[in-house]
Amino acid sequence: MAMQEEIYDVTIIGGGPAGLFAAFYSGMREMKTKIIEYLPYLGGKVPYFYPEKVIRDIGGIVQATGEEVTDQLVQQAMTFDPTIVLGERVVGMQKRADGNFQLMSSNGQVHYSKTVLLATGFGILHSIKLDHPEAIDYEEKSLHYTVRKLADYQDKHVLISGGGNSAVDWALELEGIAKHVTLIHRRDQFKGLESSVTKLKNSRVNVMTPYEIKALHGIDGQIEKVTLRHTEGDDGDIELPIDRLVVNHGFQINLEPITSWGLDMIDGMIAVDSRMQTSMEGVFAIGDIAHYPNKLGLIAGAFNEGPIAVNHAKKIADPKDPVKHLFSTNYAAFTEED
């Protein structure tokens, strides 16, 4: 078993937006920081699922793609040279007699840290696949579960299935790129943000509710048309010619092995207090995985949670150093000379 006996002030499990900004702030607090990310790259689900999706809910950024936001976050996180470990999944955590934590990875690596910050998102996410036996014949050819390259949809007839924020956002994003966009949902009401749903209703997107996909028709991985079924009543089936199908039916969430670490959980998330600390002293949680009253499920919310957790982790890692609130505009590392 490989051993890494060097002890860090804070080890951040998860290299998505929440973890990256927390790493930047912990560098401002002059904490010895490590990020462990199970993917082979930083950024979490954003660059994988939403590289070209426009993000508009971060203060001070009018709009930017997921890839652009991720690039900036990675650059910012590297300001203070944290140790980065990619392609490792932490499967075990235990608190030692000396108060430090021992983290075990699935590949046999062992890491040591004074505090731990969980920024794992919802854990390992897998898109919920279209429940049709023929779907596998079209996946990653003309059937997709996210939009990675907008250019692939240029002048195409696109069908989007789903009723949440992702489905609504992609329909609006593709409206000006595709030849025609149809959005179907098995219910009449959408779950997206009110402003987005209103924009959808005023757009050229063909919205069909309540409909669902009954069958796919095509050849050699290319969907040529779909059969849509009305979910209420006997209005009959509809055949719709399409070139691309985007299915946004949500994600399957796997929080293992975190659920076995003895932390208090609420509704599939980790319960935290006002310090973002879990039920185990020295272990903090931020971002999608953290649960507390009136939580704001936005990236902007996670950017606030990280510094709160880091400030209190600093108190554990260095008890003589009081909790401070730093301002990056006053920090020497951001001068022109640097």
Tell me what the mean pLDDT of segment 303-328 comes to.
Answer: 85
DSSP helix/strand/coil, 76: helix
State pLDDT tens for residues 43-53. 987 766 667 77
Distance separating alpha carbons of residues 69 and 45, to the nearest angstrom: 12
Q: Is the pLDDT higher at 255 or at 197?
A: 197
Contact (CB, 8 A) for 235 and 208: no
The CATH number for 129-249, chosen from 3.90.209.20, 3.50.50.60, 3.40.50.720, 3.40.50.2030, is 3.50.50.60
Region of 76 (left: φ > 0; alpha: ψ -120 to 50; beta: rest) is alpha
Distance separating alpha carbons of residues 149 and 52, to the nearest angstrom: 7
Q: Give the domain ranges of the chain.
A: 3-125+252-334, 129-249
Tokens of residue 3, six digits? 């051993």
State pLDDT tens for residues 112-135. 999 999 999 876 666 788 989 899
Do 3-125+252-334 and 129-249 show the same overall fold?
yes
State pLDDT tens for residues 131-175. 898 999 999 899 998 888 889 999 999 999 999 888 998 999 999
CB-based contacts of 79, cutoff 8 Å, min separation 6? 24, 27, 333
Token pair 């990236």: residue: 299
Contact (CB, 8 A) for 37 and 10: no
Other Cβ atoms within 10 Å of 182 Cβ, number? 20
Q: Which of 1-15, 24-38, 72-86, 189-203 has the lowest mean pLDDT?
A: 1-15
**Dihedral angle of Cα 206, 208, 214, 219, to the nearest 10 degrees:** 0
Statement: the pTM of the whole predicted model exceeds 0.95: no
H or E, element range at 305: helix 299-317
Contact (CB, 8 A) for 225 and 215: no
Domain 3-125+252-334 has CATH 3.50.50.60: yes
